[in-house]
Amino acid sequence: MKTDIFDLQTILLTVIIVLLLIQYAIELIRYFKKRNQKNTEKADPSINEITNNIENNETVLETQLEDFQQRLQAIENKLSENGQKTKSNQTQTTNNDKHLIDKVKNVDFLKEYAENVCKYLETLDNIFKTAYKRYQELQQYEKTINAVGCLLQNACMTVLDLGKWMKLADEIKTYGIVINNQDIKNCFQSNNNYDRIKQFKILFSTPLKKYTNNLLILCEAMRNLSKFNNGEVAVGNIEKEFETQFNIIIKEAKNVGILEIDVAKLFTNITLNNNNIESINGNVSLPYLKVNDLKTEEIVEIVEFGMKTEFEKSKSRIKVLIK
């Protein structure tokens, strides 16, 4: 294994310091010897003892001095050798730096949108945390916490998938650059910043729509929480709270390019909802299975809200499961 030049320089500095200390110690011994010889009769007994002790080590110190001088010379020779190797590698280093620079992309033009994404995701995160807080507050009510726990679990299914996009948006917002990120390579197919931003928004639209949908489903269920707990505990305040949170998502989604969202209401007849709705086949998930007293064609579970981004021509359809 080759010794790194910076390690050698550190060792060199240490050796030099030790050399100086040894030389100082030898000079100090000689000073005491000379002083003691001049003041033999008046010398303090303790001084004589100290002088005798360190005098015995003079030869040892001189030997160590010679040894460290040899080490110093060896290190200097090694540094000189490495210096020559460093010069011969300068061309390769320059090429490596150029290769790295080619991987770094300046994306200042994406910072504004990235900042909007970060703020929006923070809003969704706070809504999720609020739901989790209510879950903790309701621990004594078994039916209620079972329902809320399932809803939270369903809502967080997309969080892991969203992780890399959250990280990317935060890096762009903070630094204005990306390094070797293959996910956004299509953003650089054009020299026009408008087209680049468009591609970036399209890229982000899929994970953003998915997470938005999950949080809307959570809020829609939480604002109908009394349906899940069969009157176990009064949750009117929680239902009102998530009515507000639901509307906040609809409003804030526009800042990240989700311009329109078609909604449906749980536990209502499908025909009374938006025309842009369809019933699909599928298994009803927990905790919706435990909701009682539903009538035929009433919405048991919402699978997907209808959405349209600024670059889509039409909204996706609302997808629901009905009784």
Output phi, psi for 191, to 5 deg.
-90, -5
Q: pLDDT averaged over the chain?
A: 79
Identity of the highest mean pLDDT range in 45-49, 61-65, 216-220, 285-289: 216-220
Taking CA atoms, 304 is separated from 117, 158, 195, 202, 211, in Å, by 21, 14, 29, 19, 11
Domain boundary among the residues 54, 88, 122 is at 88
CATH at 31: 1.10.287
Q: Considering the domain boundaries, does residue 313 fall inside one?
A: yes
Domain membership of residue 95 (yes or no) is no
Residues 158 and 117 in one domain: yes
Beta bridge partners of residue 319, listed in sequence order: 278, 304
- Examine the fold and report which residue of 57, 88, 119 is the final residue of a domain before the chain moves on: 88
Domain boundary residue, one of 66, 88, 110: 88
Range of the domain at 110: 102-322
For residue range 224-242, list pLDDT tens digits in order. Answer: 999 998 888 899 999 999 9
Q: Check whether residue 225 and residue 128 sit in a common domain.
A: yes
Please name the helix (run of DSSP H) or strand (run of DSSP E) that holds residue 301, with its range, or none: strand 299-304
What is the number of residues in the chain?
A: 323
Q: Are residues 192 and 261 in the same domain?
A: yes
One domain, residues 52 and 153: no
pTM: 0.69
On whether both 146 and 221 belong to a single domain, the answer is yes
Element containing residue 118 per DSSP (H, E): helix 111-137
Q: Tell me: the pLDDT tens digits for 67-120?
A: 656 656 665 666 666 655 555 555 554 454 444 445 567 888 899 999 999 999
Q: How far is CA 191 from the centre of its chain?
A: 30
pLDDT digits (tens, 9 = 90+) for 187-209: 777 888 888 889 889 989 999 99
Per the CB < 8 A criterion, the answer to whether 190 and 99 are in contact is no
pLDDT the model gives residue 2: 45
Query: How many domains, the chain?
Result: 2
